Amino acid sequence: MINDKMTNGAKRMHVVVCIKQVPDAKNVRIDPETCTLVRQGVESIVNPHDWYAVEAALRFRDEYGGKVTALTMGPPQAEEALRETLALGVDEAVLLSDRAFAGADTWATSLTLARAIEKLGPVELVICGKQAIDGDTAQVGPGLAAHLDRPYTTYARRLELLNGGELRAERVTDFGYEIVQMELPAVVTVVREIGDPRMPGLKHKMKAKKKEIPVLGAAELNLHPEEVGLQGSYTQVVKVFSPPPRCDREMINGDAEEQAEKLLRLLQEAKVPGL
């Protein structure tokens, strides 16, 4: 059912949801020579935070009309992640894949995604997960807004379209939430409070298997090699290491009372202030 606050323009609203295929966190390894993630032989999954972005996009479409396009940048096998979103009901999917994109930092990644969004335009709303588990920078969403020159908000838990085409968002903070109102087109990142992801339906799963997914490279996006990938990145990982242990570890056994007494004694022996 379409919300009675929906305007005529909202019926044609195009929402793009950006996702990322990442290594399963249980098997993440770093190549000490290149300081990059080892992806060979490691199972890849859709970034968990991005499922909430997909759900937010689908709910927005279901309530206000329009269509949802899933967008990702990655190697050819990232097509599998896009098909998973199609199985949930996403209307279209686009893969950005080119050897020139390899090694991109958040700046180069957001630039590449922004060029693709401009090519897909007009796009009224871009939705991202709050961050990716392989980098945890939470910079791509705001970077997209900067490259697209659009207003944005982060950590949204609720989205609402107002009369006149403005977006109202409830943004989670450390002390509660803020209400943010902005004009469309806009960019938002969402958190899990936006709603639990839906399960794939049989009809959409069958459609996802047959759906043609276009692949765009640097040439199609009018991007030069020096703008993307490692060459277009302003940041690089120069060293990866495990922090050395700061002290010896000791396992405290016994029941809760015995453990508490021993812990207190050890802290006192260590001359922890206040004990």
Low-confidence residues in the chain, pLDDT < 50: 1-10
Question: Given this model, what pLDDT does residue 9 score?
Answer: 41
Phi, psi dihedrals of residue 116, rounded to the nearest 5°: -65, -40
Whole-angstrom Cα distance, residue 236 to residue 13?
37
Contacts by 264-268, CB closer than 8 A, 24 or more apart? none
Question: Given this model, what pLDDT does residue 242 score?
Answer: 67
Question: Given this model, what pLDDT does residue 266 score?
Answer: 86
Whole-angstrom Cα distance, residue 107 to residue 87?
30
Question: Given this model, what pLDDT does residue 256 score?
Answer: 92
DSSP for 32-71 reads: TTT-SB--TT--EEE-HHHHHHHHHHHHHHHHH--EEEEE
245-256 pLDDT per residue, tens: 777 778 889 999
Question: Given this model, what pLDDT does residue 271 score?
Answer: 79
Question: Given this model, what pLDDT does residue 31 score?
Answer: 67
Count Cα atoms within 13 angstroms, Cβ side, for 265. Answer: 7
**30: DSSP letter:** B
CATH architecture of the domain with range 9-227: 3-Layer(aba) Sandwich (3.40)
Residue boundaries of the structural domains of the chain: 9-227
Whole-angstrom Cα distance, residue 164 to residue 203?
35
